[in-house]
Every structure is written in structure tokens, then in C-alpha cells.
A = this chain, B = another copy of it.
Amino acid sequence: MTGQNRPSDAAPDARDHLHGDRMGDALSDAATDPVEKAATPGTSKKRSARPSRARSGAGARRVTLAQVAEVAGVSRSAASFVLTGRTDQRISDETQARVRSAAAALGYRPDVTSQILRTGQSGTIALVSEFVASTPYANRIIGAALDQARKHDTVMFIAETLGEKDTEERLLQNLVDRRVDGFIYASMFTQAVTIPDVLRGIPLVLLNCCAPDDRVPMVIPDEVEAGRAAAQTLLQHGHGEGIHYIGGPTLDFRGGPEWGGRVGTAVHDRLAGVKQELAHAGQALAGISETDNWEPQNGREAVATILAQGRAPTALICANDRLAFGAYQALAAAGLRIPEDVSLVSFDHSDLAGWLQPSLSSIALPHEEMGALAVDLLMSEKPRTGKHAIRMTLHQGNSISAPHPS
């Protein structure tokens, strides 16, 4: 990364470095190595002999506080007091004006690194997840969180671990080293997590995941309520005996077997809510199709199996939109119409729900709301701790009607 790839060939700057690997070399023998190579690119052996002719172009300007002070004819301290707005220090209005205009004239920007070094605070937060940014399922969490951070006038970084503990450790340590002031620890799908040790002692909000520690605010979708809503809308349309559930409670995802259908997961809670609501109306599911995964293929297979077994259901509740997509395909293949022959309701309300024909009634995963709330909680002085269950709301499509009189 030396420098052919510069938009400006004018000015080599201090960033020039070669990729020797300093820390790595130094400590490679220490197997237990606590001082792991902090990915510090080396300046070691042949440090570029380039004179750091420093600033020239626009990007390189580094006006220091000392320069501002000099121009304003005051001490650095005074300049600092003015620019940091310290009201407990007495600086005459006239001097304040001089400092401010000097700063403006020089285009002074405080050096963030020094500020961090001195204050221990960076004024930034980070959203750390395994796969939220790098997969197409929960991205809107990110957009909403960024948007909210902007409203709080805070810069938010996104960091992604790709699910590897080792990477996570390094990444978090690096962020902590950079004095990130607070963390949002997010998960692509709702699950239980262990709070990494590195984060202890730093403001934290869990997003779409939960931990046993009740002192941490956790933002999760209210899946039970969502399940109830799904059942309710079908009941309201007159369905009752012929409701079949696809998705099932045994889904393993990545959480390992012990995670499977535990309380607090989409897998468990959506179904639990459905059952509750039906029971409340004196009904019960006609059947449950457990699927290994929640992709269209699984939906197709499940529906095909159900249909092969005889009586077609009057309605299907699918654990997510992709399963529902598969159901659409299988129903079409069997010559059954939606919603005339079979009604469908699903969860997530992804783009897919709007793409299908007829459009799919789906209960939205409130990713936007969750992302925004997580930021609000992190930024608040005294956040309410524990679980914050966000309501999942039904987005009506055209996939539900009264049951076909059979």
C-alpha cells in the first residue's frame, strides 16, 4: 500500500509504509502471546527514506492548536478552553472571538487521536455483528442504526466478525483500544449469546440477541406476539380447524442443538404465539411441518408432503417469507389458488412478500425500529435494562381470505 494508487501524486504523506511485520516478527515465538500482532504494519527494516514533506494537498492539512493559539496571540491553554467551550474558565469575550476566528481562518480541526489519548473518549460507537452487514437478511438494522446515530450526532462504525471467535476477539480488542465509547452487539437472527469479556465495563446494548445478564439492555422482536397476530388474523377471517404451521420448532440454524427451539428465539416463539392464540379461541393447529431450514425448497417440500397426505389445509402459517415462497410454488404446482383455496400468512415481511402474487400477508421483523432503539438506548444516560420486546406488525397482503367452503 505504498502509493501508486493515489489520486493525487502530489504529496506523499506520513501514511507511506511498507508491509514488514513488526509485531508479528517480534512475538511470533510467544505462543500464548498476549501482545498479539495488532495488525500494526511495520516501519521496521527499510523505512521509506522519503522525507515526510508532510502537508500540501487539501487532505494533508494539519493545523494544530498551537498554531491557532499563536495566530490569536494567546496560549494553547486559552485556545483549548475557548474551542472546547469550557465555561468554568474565564476568557474574555474579545479573546474568545480572536481564537475562534483564528481557528476558522486556519481551518483548524482538532486531532482526534490526541483527543482520544488525552480524554479516553472517542465520541464514536460501533455496531458489531457476525453477519448482519455481510448477508442480505437483516441489513435494515444497519441503515436504521446509522440513521439514528446521525441524529445523535455520533459516528458509528460497523464491524463484522464473520462468526469467528478469533476474529471477533481481535476486532473487539482493536475497537476497545480505539476507545470506542459504546457497543451494539448485534446478531443476524435472534439468539442467545455470551457477552465477550473485552466488552465488560463498556456501555453495551444487545441487538437481536440476548444474554443472561439483566443489566444489559437487549432489543429483540416480540415473536410470541407476532405468532399470536398471525393466528389471530386467520381466525378473524374464519379459519379454525385447517391451519397448518410450517417451520417447526426443531430448526437448528447455527446455534447448536441446545439452542434449537429455545424460548426467546423466532423458532420457538412464533409457534408458541400461534398455539396460544389458537388455544384461546378453542382451536389447535391441524399440523406442524418441521423443516431443516427455512428456504423456499423446504417450504415446497413441506407443502408437497402435506398435500400428499390428503386433506388440504385451509391456511398455512409459514415461519418466514422464504418458506412461504416455497409454499406458493407447491400450491401452484398442485393447482391450488391463493387465497381462494389456501390462505397464507408468514413472518419477516421481507421484500419477497411484496414480490409474490398475490402479495403475501406477513408479520414484519421490525429491523428498522430495533436498530434505531438500540442506538437510542446506547446513547441514553440511564437506559432501561433488560429485554425490550419490539412489536411485530402484520402487513396485509392479499394472501388471506375466508376459508374455502369444503
Nearest opposing residue in chain B for A379, CB measure? B1
- Contact partner of A111 (CB less than 8 A), chosen from B26, B85, B167, B177, is B177
Residue pair A17, B119 in contact (C-beta under 8 Å): yes
Q: Is the interface of A mostly helix, strand, loop or mixed?
A: loop
Are B8 and A201 neighbours in the complex by a CB distance under 8 Å?
yes
A309 at the interface (CB under 8 A from B): no
The answer for the CA separation of A29 and B82 in the assembled complex, in Å, is 13
A215, B159: Cβ atoms closer than 8 Å: no
The segment out of A35-43, A236-244, A337-345 that lies at the interface is A35-43
Q: Which of A51-59, A271-279, A282-290 contacts B (4 or more CB under 8 A)?
A: A51-59
CB pair B295 A104 closer than 8 Å: no
Tell me the bound Cα distance from A129 to B382 in angstroms: 33
Partner-contacting stretch, out of A70-78, A150-158, A224-232: A150-158
Give how many copies assemble into the complex.
Answer: 2
A203 vs B382: C-alpha distance when bound (angstroms): 42
A35 touches B110 (CB 8 A): yes
Check A203/B381 contact, CB under 8 A, given A41-B121, A85-B42, A295-B355. Answer: no
Whether A45 lies near B88 (C-beta < 8 A) is yes
Asked if B162 contacts A23 (CB within 8 A), the reply is no
Cβ of A32 and Cβ of B104 under 8 Å apart? yes
A112 contacts B41, C-beta separation under 8 Å: no
Q: Given A55-B34, A160-B158: A115 and B13 within 8 A (CB)?
A: no
Q: Could you tell me the distance in whole angstroms from the C-beta of A294 to the nearest C-beta in chain B?
A: 12
Q: Name A34's contact: one of B44, B103, B176, B297 (CB within 8 Å).
A: B103
- A217 B109 Cβ-Cβ under 8 A: no
Bound complex: CA of A157 vs CA of B178, how far in Å? 12
Please judge, given known A-B contacts A83-B26, A85-B25, A137-B136, whether A379 and B34 are in contact too, CB under 8 Å.
Answer: no
